Amino acid sequence: MNATATFVFVLFFIGVTILGFVAAHWRRGDLGHLEEWGLGGRRFGTIVTWFLLGGDLYTAYTFVAVPALVFGAGATGFFALPYTILIYPFAFVVFPKLWSIAKRQGYVTSADFVNARYGSRSLALAVAVTGILATMPYIALQLVGIEVVIGALGFDTTGFVGDLPLIIAFAILAAYTYTSGLRAPAMIAVVKDVLIYITIGAAVIVIPSQLGGFGHIFAAVPPAKLLLKAPDVASLNGYSAYATLAVGSALALFLYPHSITAVLSSSSGNTIRRNMAMLPAYSLVLGLLALLGFMALASGVKDMPEFAPYFKAFGPNFAVPALFLHFFPSWFVGVAFAAIGIGALVPAAIMSIAAANLYTRNIHKQFVNRNMTNEQETNIAKLVSLIVKVGAVAFILGLPLTYAIQLQLLGGIWIIQTLPAIVLGLYTRMLDYRGLLIGWAAGIATGTWMAISLKLAGSIYVLHIGGVAIPGYAAVWSLIVNLVVSVVVSLAVRAMGMKPAADHTHPDDYLDVVES
């Protein structure tokens, strides 16, 4: 065991645990109301929203997986950069409008909006269930970051004793989330982001200086990993895969329940706009983070005997921990690993709260008990948030790591199918709820079939059109199917004169007023 690094890691963990419980008294509100417990009372300003969204979108798994993808697959791993650049103009335009409608009508989830906009509990149920299913493996994968760190500190991660640190970490997370709601991850996100900035800043200065500079690093990377495979007469090769990964990921990310929860917790539409203008700063950090994959290749950590058992256990996911263990003193290793560990706790908390909000508002309240009081509603949400965390721990402990990662591929494919109902619903009622529901089912079925045909080992499905192979992200192909079916069925419904459902929103709700 690395005693010094473990001491520093545990010290930070104790600190954020205290913060998590203290958060219940921060910006006081009645935590018996779901809007207070699950959305922080919609009072988070620009700075808090910045850290909350950053903690939400840039997770421990991102910290581990993006460099691991670059380490293993090379240039393709950099698709994360254009997608985080594309996403912010999209969110700048769309989500202040969703915030405005949700604030005026008291909506807590995106499915609340869908239910009111289309007058369809079935369509809202489809959106809610999709959000919960897409979130579960995402929460579980936050545990991958913690598990890798625990292993890197020198602990055995096999068997029940090896699982104990993971179980203890999530038990503490469950306790302060239950008590403080969204306020806990919002406060802890500040610590998490500061640690990540310090860690990345040190890494991009210290490691290249010891490897002879970035020129030497790039020279040491195999040529096949430096560039995408160019198109030829038979295939678009890596270009179409890279482009569709970027576009599909950008369209999907803010549809996840945890992303929407962070957006709806903002104090105004202008707060969201300011954050979408500033959040590309995280893309710079992500780019530097991705370069750690090339640094790991250049340093040869994979071939170092002391790291061989860890790479055997964790695969490319161990690339970043190996770099810090090799190039930094133990005390700073503790700081870096704390950044990764806390980077898992923040999004996991937000995700469990978001899933609980969806279940409570759009499943329990709609189909089990429509007359819940505010206190009953919040108690159900708290209980479900605990169940979700327990489920995530069971998920990661019960399934081999490979399957957990592969199932996460379905998350993006599934959640993007909610785009027509949520995003297009903000601008038009052209699509009928029956068309959207059938389109959703077609998109889910197509995307899942593509992923299964790839044996859940990847998300790039090759279409063959006019003798040319076009590899692309399955989420994009299935979304196109969804949109086509939604439009065709909606037109058919209108042509048959079938009566549309009532729209319970008001035209004034859609006025894009710049909030103060």
Over residues 360-399, the pLDDT tens digits come to 999 999 999 988 888 999 999 999 998 888 887 777 777 6
**Whether the Cβ atoms of residue 132 and residue 355 lie closer than 8 Å to each other:** yes
249 is a domain residue: yes
Model confidence at 419, in pLDDT bands (50, 70, 90)?
Answer: very high
What is the pLDDT at residue 131?
94
Nearest CA to 460 out of 446, 444, 475, 439 is that of 475
Top-confidence residue, 247 or 390: 247
**Which structural domain range is residue 334 located in?**
21-510
Distance of CA 49 to the CA centre of its chain: 16
What is the pLDDT at residue 280?
84
Averaged pLDDT, 227-242: 83
Report whether pLDDT(490) > 80: yes
End-to-end CA distance of the chain: 52
Least confident window among 27-31, 32-36, 347-351 = 27-31
What is the pLDDT at residue 516?
45
16 is a domain residue: no
What is the pLDDT at residue 236?
85
Q: Is 400 left (phi over 0), alpha (psi -120 to 50) or beta?
A: beta
- Which residues have a Cβ under 8 Å from the Cβ of 129 and sit 6 or more positions away? 363
8 is a domain residue: no
247 is a domain residue: yes
Chain length of the chain? 516
pLDDT digits (tens, 9 = 90+) for 327-359: 999 999 999 999 888 888 888 889 999 999 999
**Whether the Cβ atoms of residue 40 and residue 182 lie closer than 8 Å to each other:** yes
Residue 215, strand partner residues: none
Task: Report the number of distinct structural domains present in the chain.
Answer: 1
Report whether pLDDT(219) > 80: yes
Nearest CA to 389 out of 157, 249, 184, 111 is that of 184
Least confident window among 94-98, 137-141, 205-209 = 137-141
pLDDT digits (tens, 9 = 90+) for 112-125: 999 999 999 999 99
What is the pLDDT at residue 403?
57
Averaged pLDDT, 185-192: 88
Q: Give whole-number Cα distances, 22 to 18, 38, 47, 173, 180, in Å.
A: 6, 17, 19, 13, 8
Report whether pLDDT(432) > 60: yes
196 is a domain residue: yes
4 is a domain residue: no
1 is a domain residue: no
Q: How far apart are CA 413 and CA 363, in angstroms?
A: 22
Model confidence at 402, in pLDDT bands (50, 70, 90)?
Answer: low
As a whole-number percent, the residues of the chain with pLDDT over 90 amount to 41
Report whether pLDDT(515) > 80: no
Task: State the SS3 of 52-85.
Answer: HHHHHHCCHHHHHHHHHHHHHHHHHHHHHHHHHH
Model confidence at 480, in pLDDT bands (50, 70, 90)?
Answer: very high
How many CA atoms are closer than 13 Å to the CA of 101, on its beta-carbon side? Answer: 26
The 10 Å Cβ neighbour count of residue 60 is: 28
Average pLDDT of the chain is 87
Angle between helices 80-105 and 110-118 (to 10 degrees): 60
Q: To 10 degrees, the CA torsion angle through 204, 210, 211, 214?
A: 40
Averaged pLDDT, 128-152: 85
What is the pLDDT at residue 176?
87
9 is a domain residue: no
pLDDT digits (tens, 9 = 90+) for 11-21: 998 998 999 89
Give per-residue burial for 383-394: e unless 16+ CB within 10 Å, then b.
Answer: ebbbebbebbbe
Helix/strand/coil percentages in the chain, nearest 5: 80, 5, 20
pLDDT digits (tens, 9 = 90+) for 272-293: 999 999 888 888 888 888 899 9
AA letter at 176: Y
CATH number at residue 131: 1.20.1730.10
